[in-house]
Structure 1
Amino acid sequence: MTAYDDLMEFTRHTQALGEVAGRLGWDQETMMPRGAATQRAEEMAAMETVLHARRIDPQVKDWLGEIDDSALDPVAKAQMRHIRRSFDRTSKVPAALATRLAKLTSAAQGIWAEARADNDFKAFAPTLSEVIMLKREEGQALASGGDVYDAMLEDYEPGTSGEELKAMFGAMRPVLSDLRAAVREAQGPEPLSGTFDEGAQMKLTRVLAKAFGYDMARGRVDKAVHPFSSGSGLDVRITTRTNPADPFNCFYSTIHEVGHAAYEQNIDQAYLLTPLGRGVSMGVHESQSRIYENQIGRSRAFTGWLFGQMKDAFGDFGIKDEDTFYATVNRVGDGYIRTEADELQYNLHVLLRFDLERALMSGDLMVSDLESAWNDRFEADFGYAVDKPSHGVLQDVHWSVGLFGYFPTYSLGNVYAGCLNEAMRAALPDLDSDLAKGDTSAATSWLGAHVQSNGGLYEPREVIERAAGQAPSEGPLLSYLTEKFSGIYNL
């Protein structure tokens, strides 16, 4: 065997162990007994110790030194790009720090959940301070004298920077704020009312998952407090949540997570358990979940079909026709929760978090001032005050598990989705006739071929440029949102 073959075999074993660690995380969110949290923290730390050791194994360095990338084919070169990047980054982080972070963030997740349930930010603040301290230490090691937040972004969106995102988001914020203000002044649809059986919601949510191409033979749908997708290749699981007063939360959380899961399921299986066998970045990942959820799932055509499905499931639920249902699905309303936000206001939630976490990492904002900073910014952006911490600074799990640099990929994913939707609609002029019948296959096949099947073969922005025929920019997203909500609200 060549050095490349040896390295790839070693890497496949490491990837497989990473999948096992991911399954522990899935179990923690879905089925793990509450009393197991302390032991699970030890288990997660042990797995991270093993994974970190494999990622910086001296033999990997030797193999990398032996391999001449110029002699490799394009796929092998892409594998090497990921392996070298991972080795270089992991080698900069001391093993003891990686283990401490894994143990702390596993335990912090439970502390956050209790503080959220009790609406007590002060109970979580000391733990969050410790997480931030360790993440800064990790970021400084990774940055090697450069920008700490940029180093964190590399874990989620290689090739971008905080300043680039600041410029993009700075262009988005006034357009979104002005459109939001105009919508709030207009006469809009009434919110959905009534009670919707949670068992019937779960039954329909599985119909929706299959309608968007989710392969249940390689996946499953469970319930969790915070919906997520987990896994890759032949084992990709999703979660959703139910609320008897709000079935849309269940249905669109499911469609969103199916977008993530479909990406993983549709990657070329030749890349299974290799660095190319995962989505290339969180921004590209989010582009799939958001285009499934919004541009396809909340379109006038698809909601017409969903209206019929809901009537079959729940009988007469108080909405008279498909046009009213479309407006109701896309209703812009007040709310505190990012994951429940309408399509228009969602990015404002993300931009708030982006600015705050950059300030936390730079030391410009202290944890002791975070709750008041959050509340002030929220009121400035949305026009009303946060009523309790679980609706504000404690609502998201991300910071408790150390995911700094993750939040901006949500909005970047929306930007990517805007570009992809424009290209997809040009390529599929009759798409709406299919969506009106609940047939998403033309759209999901186009995305599968142009984005998902590539896995990590290309760099994130190259994926979008190749699929959309243009460099990513906020323009298509802002045009789409303006046209859509101007139509719904007769602006």
Structure 2
Amino acid sequence: MSAFDELMAFQRETEALAQVAMRLGWDQETVMPRGSATQRGEEMAAIEGVLHARRTDPRIGALLESAQAPDDSGTANLRLIRHTYDRTTRVPARLASELARTTSLAQGIWAESRAQENVGEFLPTLRTVLDLTREKAAALADGGDLYDALLEDYEPGATGAGLEQMFGALRPRLVALRERVLGAERQPASLSGTYDEAGQMALSAELALAFGYDTGRGRIDKAVHPFSSGSGNDVRITTRTSAIDPFNCFYSTIHEVGHGAYEQGIDQAHLLTPLGQGVSMGVHESQSRIYENQLARSSAFTGHLFKRMRATFGDFGISDAADFHGTVNRVSPGFIRTESDEVQYNLHVLLRFDLERQLIAGTLDVADLEAAWNARFLSDFGIAVDRPSNGVLQDVHWPVGLFGYFPTYTLGNVYAGCLHKALRDAVPDLDDHLARGDTTPATDWLRRNLQTFGGLRPPRDTIRHACGFEPSEVPLLDYLEAKYAAIYHL
């Protein structure tokens, strides 16, 4: 066996174990008994210890020295293995296990604090998570910027300064568009009435299939905070229901299908290798956002959804497909990031990006986080946070140590804007298909041009290859301004 073959065989076992760990996380957020949290923390710590030992095994370093890649895929695999090895060897095994144990327990403490609207109950745990995360960042940064070191886990090659520049270009046009929209004479109606859960879940499952989700290699469950999990031939997604807001269910499902379809669409030759998963969270988010927004919230597809909702729920008070499109895309002030409209969504992300950079830098203390959040939210959105679950406790990311993750949501929106522009150029009759509920021209284009390659190319190169041009925020802003000008008669 060659050094390359030996290395890849070792890596496949590591990737398989990582999938097992991911399945434990899925179980914890969906069906795990509440009383199992402490034991699950020990289980997660144990498997993280095994994974850390494998990822830092000296044999990897020795094999990397002599391995010769047989092709471009092999070269990319070696690049990714080396990147993971170099980073993982900087983090002590004790720290890796302690982070896994602490964040597993923190998730349950956060959920309980959120349900009780008690920030103070959670802050000591968050401080522990933050301290451990900063310790990890210091080990990875090797004297460099702590936040950049954490970003590398989610968006390789990105920097806080680079994202700050991009987000600075986004903010003025987004704020100006929001003010024009909220001040417009025409304001679409909001949805009213109640919608039974069985009907929501049935239509949600139909939408998942329409967008190409393979339930033979996945499943749909319910979770408090929708997410996707897994890769290759076991890719699971979750959704949630609300009796007064079926859009939450439908668009959460489509969003997670975007993530799931990316993983299911990767070339099977890359299964259980570093190439066999999405290349970054920003690119991952580009898939969920283009599925959810540019495709599923388009006037063509909402016309189809209007008919399906009428068939499922009967007359629900919206007179026609045009008004329904306005209702689906209605802009209104709100607290919750995941329920936000396209105009304001990125403003929610920018708030979190700025605050978590301050937390990691040590310029914002955990004790002052809630006050800082509330002040920034009032400044950005013009409304006061009424309770912690609508504010600093609404997201699970910080409790589970995902500092550096939030900016990839907006980066994913930027990438989705670029992909949508390229897709429209490539498929000029796309709306004719979407109006019939047929997404295949779009999802096939995305699979061919992006999803199948998995981690073959670095993130920005992945988008550049698919689109044929350098990624920028301009296509997203142009799309939003054109779309909402039409809806609001600006």
Aligned to 2:209: 210
List per-residue Cα deviations over 1:267-313 (Å, max 9, x = no partner): 00000000000000000000000000000000000000000000010
Matched position secondary structure for 1:236: strand
Q: Distance in 2 between the 1:158 and 1:370 partners?
A: 28
List per-residue Cα deviations over 1:116-156 (Å, max 9, x = no partner): 01111111111111111111110010000110100100000
Aligned to 1:383: 382
Aligned to 1:303: 302
1:353 and 2:352 are equivalent in the alignment: yes
Aligned to 2:364: 365
Q: Distance in 1 between the 2:3 and 2:361 partners?
A: 41
Q: Distance in 2 between the 1:171 and 1:80 partners?
A: 36
Aligned to 2:112: 114
The one-letter code sitting in structure 2 at the alignment partner of 1:273 is: L
Q: Distance in 2 between the 1:52 and 1:410 partners?
A: 27
The one-letter code sitting in structure 1 at the alignment partner of 2:317 is: G
1:486 and 2:485 are equivalent in the alignment: yes
1:462 and 2:461 are equivalent in the alignment: yes
Matched position secondary structure for 1:222: strand
Deviation, structure 1 residue 422: 0.2
Of 78, 81, 101, the match for 1:80: 78
Q: Distance in 2 between the 1:244 and 1:407 partners?
A: 28
Q: Distance in 1 between the 2:252 and 2:480 partners?
A: 20
Deviation, structure 1 residue 68: 4.0
Aligned to 2:90: 92
Residue pairs, 1:81-160, within 5 angstroms = 81-160=79-158
List per-residue Cα deviations over 1:222-276 (Å, max 9, x = no partner): 0000000000000000000000100000000000000000000000000000000
Q: Structure 1: which 5+ residue stretches go unaligned?
A: none
Q: Distance in 2 between the 1:285 and 1:78 partners?
A: 18
Aligned to 1:418: 417
Matched position secondary structure for 1:275: coil
Q: Distance in 1 between the 2:210 and 2:342 partners?
A: 21
How many percent identity over aligned positions?
A: 65
The one-letter code sitting in structure 1 at the alignment partner of 2:425 is: A
Deviation, structure 1 residue 436: 0.2
Deviation, structure 1 residue 67: 1.7
Contact 2:3 / 2:68 at 8 angstroms: preserved in 1? no
Aligned to 2:190: 191
Matched position secondary structure for 2:235: strand
Aligned to 1:7: 7
Residue pairs, 1:250-269, within 5 angstroms = 250-269=249-268
Deviation, structure 1 residue 469: 1.2
Deviation, structure 1 residue 14: 0.4
The one-letter code sitting in structure 2 at the alignment partner of 1:330 is: N
Contact 2:218 / 2:236 at 8 angstroms: preserved in 1? yes
Residue pairs, 1:200-239, within 5 angstroms = 200-239=199-238
Matched position secondary structure for 1:399: coil
Of 145, 161, 173, the match for 2:171: 173
Q: Distance in 1 between the 2:153 and 2:167 partners?
A: 20
Deviation, structure 1 residue 65: 1.6
Deviation, structure 1 residue 182: 1.1
Q: Structure 2: which 5+ residue stretches go unaligned?
A: none
1:47 and 2:86 are equivalent in the alignment: no
Matched position secondary structure for 1:447: helix
Contact 2:4 / 2:68 at 8 angstroms: preserved in 1? no
Q: Distance in 2 between the 1:109 and 1:197 partners?
A: 29
List per-residue Cα deviations over 1:357-406 (Å, max 9, x = no partner): 00000011000110000001101110110000000000000000000000
Residue pairs, 1:291-330, within 5 angstroms = 291-330=290-329
1:64 and 2:57 are equivalent in the alignment: no
| CA-atom RMSD in angstroms | 0.6
List per-residue Cα deviations over 1:323-349 (Å, max 9, x = no partner): 000000000012100001011110000
Q: Distance in 2 between the 1:348 and 1:297 partners?
A: 21
Instruction: Give the total of aligned pairs.
Output: 489
Give TM-score scaled by structure 2 length.
0.99
Q: Distance in 1 between the 2:431 and 2:181 partners?
A: 26
The one-letter code sitting in structure 1 at the alignment partner of 2:251 is: Y
Q: Distance in 2 between the 1:481 and 1:63 partners?
A: 49
Matched position secondary structure for 1:274: coil
Runs of 4+ in 1 over 3 A off after TM superposition: none
Give TM-score scaled by structure 1 length.
0.99
Deviation, structure 1 residue 215: 0.4
Matched position secondary structure for 1:132: helix
Matched position secondary structure for 1:396: coil
Q: Distance in 2 between the 1:167 and 1:103 partners?
A: 36
